[in-house]
Amino acid sequence: MKKLLLLLLAIFLNIPLFAQVKEGFKVPSHPKIGLSLAGGGAKGFAHVGVLKVLDSLGVKIDYISGTSMGAIVGGLYASGYTGKEIEKIVLETDFYNIIANEKNRKESSFFNKSVDKYILNLPVKNGKINVVPKAISTGQKNIYLLKELFKNVSTIDDFSILPIPFMCVGTNLESGKMEIFEKGDLVSSIMASSAFPSLMDPVKIGDSIYIDGAMTVNYPSKPLKDKGIDIVIGVDLSQGLNTREKLQSAIDILNQVIDFSIQKETKNQYQYTDINIHPNLEGMSATSYDVKKAILDSGYAEAKKYIEPLSLLPKSEETVLRAPLNSVYSNVYKIDSLILENNHIFKKNYVQGKMNLRVPSLQTYGSINKMIDKLYATKNYTLINYDIIQKNNYNYLKLTVTEDDTRFFFKFGLHYDEIFKTGLLLNATAKRLLFRNSIISLDVVVGDKPRYYFNYFIDNGYIPGIGAYASGMTLDLTDINSTEYERWNWFRNELFIQSIWRDKYAIGGGISHDYFESKFAGIKTYSNSKNFVNAYVFIKTDTQDDKSFPSKGLFLHAEGKALDLLNDEQEGRTVQMKITSQLNFPLSPRLTFRLGLFGGITVGEELSNYYRYRIGGIFEQILGNFVKLMGYEFGQLDTQNLLVATNSLQYNVHKNYFLTGHFSIANLFNDVKVDDILHINETSAGLTAGYKSPFGQIKFNYSRSLTQNNNVFSVILGHWF
């Protein structure tokens, strides 16, 4: 009797607990157990906490259905990952970076790195300017992540033969009807299920395009019952509709309207759910990726309340927790050939060259992701999917590409600094003009210092490409008192050949023509005008992760130039060799040491005033023989030979805020002698406060020449051009 009373008391105390357990819940003999995982963006991390509880109890799951984030988590679990392994994946993944889907600057071509200076890019297609994109992300980084995670089941195209049978729900964008994915490419199916409108581009599968399954069925319990599942364990992430107090913006109202049908359909799915686990996610949203640990813990805490009914379910016959089919990080594949599908513009040799794919070669999913990222960074593709196909003892890397067929662009930029002053940048860019792999770009700067830049380049990857360049600008040289003493007009034209070496370096050479004219302050007309035809060779690389506030990577630009080739009166030939480099060493997640080095040597007796090395000013672009040096005015000092070293410590104060200290030494010398080379004659120190804004850099600079005891304060706004 005492035991009976204790049992009744326990049942009584657990009545609130079982409010989410279906009335009349019984476990039949040899039941089939299904797991229904709802969508909800970041709220879907709660599923992982539930899985950890199921694993701890050894519950045998016979079928999984999922929508959106539920499809991602459910797919991983169905593929052999344990709840704890999925937790590790969630906590280590930067989901904001994946959604932002920014093209990897490190992998961008040298041409694209040279033109990453615009704040507005307007594609022109069919005679119309496309201002609003389809979505924030095309989903390319989703492919990298999911292909890596699902590599152990990549050859399976029937989801029913996964370690746990699986299906996910998508919505046909054209018909508005639900689609249940049970066969095909697992990654594509999961991406289609999680393609939330405006956040991710729709996903094309076959002849149809799909968006997030939440638009039709966000809580897919009925599809499990339709499969003959006896008991459905469901994880519902809905938190009800918002009150009027929380509807403060157009986005809030739009999300509320979308939730009307989602909430209604979710309640309809309750009748097909036997154990409905409903974590408390109040205050959480679909984009709460910064509190993923708290969301995960909420799912775990809620699932623990259901230990009693869950313990009644059949146990897995395995004595240990399930593990992936193979080791997650050990798969290596011999790639024998490349297959390209859906390409219309760019041929196989271009694609293979941009990827630097040698066949046959040994590759991992990680290395394939990096190669595809190089191709994606060309900006010629909106999406690149891939599979490794095994056939007749050969492995084929099959790329299914979606080419960006936009050919014309209008771009805009804004900038202010102490050298060029205020400038509005207007750009027109055209792709595939005359040649398939070509790009032509014209920049016109309107402002205090009007100038232009023209670029034309035929990019053949590892096969040498041909380019042309032209520019025209006005430069004011100032003295220590910031007083203008000389003005230059400088026009340059170049023809060059460029190729890629060792996947990182651009090497080449060409012919340049410079026209200079100058006048001194107080004189109206330009008098000192000269033409120069020069031959040059170069090597350059740029692996910096950011242009304005780099924390890692290398910048290098080295050049050798034979000057004034058409001057028959010159005795001997004058040659200049110079190197500009910047090495960024991360000392901690927030602290970066930066070493900037410049060396310029002149060999020859005759050197025009226009080609002397000039130091001073703060600028972040290659500008002839002008070399930046804090604490000095632009072009303040000149010399025939120059060595400069700048040591900087950059500290990331908070998110996009930076504080940098600088210390520079310089050696100006005309004669190449040991004593002259080793003699330091100029030093300076400075401090920069910077902010990385959506419109480019904002920097406030204070610097002081320790040698000449003058102070310089400057402001930089926007990308350099």
Residue with tokens 């519902």: 236
Question: What average pLDDT score do residues 53-78 get?
Answer: 95
Residue with tokens 């059949």: 314
Strands 203-205 and 178-181: unpaired
Range with lowest mean pLDDT among 69-78, 310-319, 349-358, 588-597: 310-319
pLDDT value at residue 11 = 37
pLDDT of residue 7 exceeding 60: no
The torsion angles phi and psi of 148, rounded to 5 degrees, stand at -65, -45
**Class of residue 97 by CB neighbours under 10 A (exposed 0-12, middle 13-18, buried 19+):** exposed
Distance of CA 525 to CAs 486, 500, 540, Å? 12, 45, 38
Residue 365 confidence class, pLDDT cut points 50, 70, 90 = confident
Residue 193 confidence class, pLDDT cut points 50, 70, 90 = very high
How do residues 514-570 score in pLDDT, each as one tens digit? 999 999 887 888 888 999 999 999 999 999 988 899 999 999 999 999 999 998 777
How do residues 95-150 score in pLDDT, each as one tens digit? 888 887 776 677 676 666 666 788 888 888 877 777 666 667 788 889 999 998 99
pLDDT of residue 15 exceeding 50: no
Between 155 and 626, the more confident residue is 626
How do residues 385-415 score in pLDDT, each as one tens digit? 998 888 888 889 999 999 988 899 999 999 9
- Which tokens is 427 given? 């750009």
CA dist., res. 418 & res. 699, Å (int)? 12
Picking from 396, 388, 441, 447, the residue whose alpha carbon sits closest to that of residue 421 is 447
Residue with tokens 């780099």: 550
Q: Are 415 and 355 in contact (CB under 8 A)?
A: no
pLDDT value at residue 269 = 87
% of the chain exceeding 70 in pLDDT: 88
- Which tokens is 473 given? 């600008």
